[in-house]
Amino acid sequence: MLLELEGLDASIEGITVLREIDLAVDETEVVGIIGRNGAGKTSTFKSVMGLQHVQRGSVSFRGEDITVYPTHERKRLGIGFAPEDRRLISKLTARENIEMALWGSDDDGIDIDDRLEVVLDIFPAMERFLDQPAGKLSGGQQQMVTVSRALVAEPELVLLDEPFEGLAPSIKQDLTESISVIRDELGIAVFVAESQINQVKDFVDRLYVIERGEIIAETDVAGEITDDEELMQIIGGG
């Protein structure tokens, strides 16, 4: 198994926000986690990245316990993260924001242009604004940059936190198609968090549902669910 969370409890300023989280993502798998705002999706991702205090349980990557590893070490092992708030530096260009993921790399032989070509193959529209300041880009353009920054270091797993939030329908469709490319052509596993099942049900292999910091359901037939109300009926929440 590529990523495993077992019996994980996490807290913010002493308040428990995740309880007994058990989930897994296998190689080249696309896994979704859905839940309303504040349910624990972002806290789950931050726990994977070492940005959240873990009280109990473990985070393992390729069978190695990384629970106490710092964030930069998790990235070095092969986990990329595109956070919900994007965290772009507005005065830097799109290109510079993407290249930041390679700064300080242990690999002196990195060809930055080659790495950029890989993400440009996924988001060809990005070539038009690579040299524009990130702060002047639209929300959809910023999202392309954020995902590209997570991919340029060639991770084995990428976490996408609410990637469709606030995007126009056409941009959402482009991003959905890019997730298939990321998995099928680059061989990267994808773990995506969203608040609505209709955003992810057509491309995930498995789906977890989180509520009040607990995993309350798991399904591998997300594509057969038509809307959030039906999902809640299936899992016994409605």
pLDDT in tens, 17-50: 999 999 999 998 999 999 999 999 999 999 999 9
**pTM score, whole prediction:** 0.91
> Mean pLDDT across the stretch 209-229?
81
Structure tokens at 180: 């298939």
Determine, yes or no, domain membership for 127: no
Q: Where are the beta strands (DSSP E) in the chain?
A: 3-12, 15-25, 30-34, 53-61, 64-65, 79-82, 157-161, 189-194, 206-211, 214-219
Q: Quick check: is 177 in a domain? A: yes
Residue 12: pLDDT over 80: yes
Please report whether residue 34 resides in a domain: yes
* Rounded distance between C-alpha atoms, residue 147 and residue 161, angstroms: 10
Residue 8 domain-assigned (yes or no): yes
Number of domains in the chain: 1
The predicted-structure confidence for 81-119, as pLDDT tens digits, reads as follows 999 999 999 999 999 999 999 886 666 667 889 999 999
Residue-number span of the structural domain to which 225 is assigned: 3-84+152-234
In a domain, 44, yes or no: yes
Position 237 confidence tier, pLDDT thresholds 50, 70, 90: very low
**Is the residue at 225 inside a domain?**
yes
Q: Is residue 101 part of a domain?
A: no
Q: Is 229 within the bounds of a domain?
A: yes
Q: What is the CATH number of the domain that holds 159?
A: 3.40.50.300
In the structure encoding, which two tokens stand for residue 92, read together?
């830097």
Q: State yes or no: pLDDT of 151 exceeds 90.
A: yes
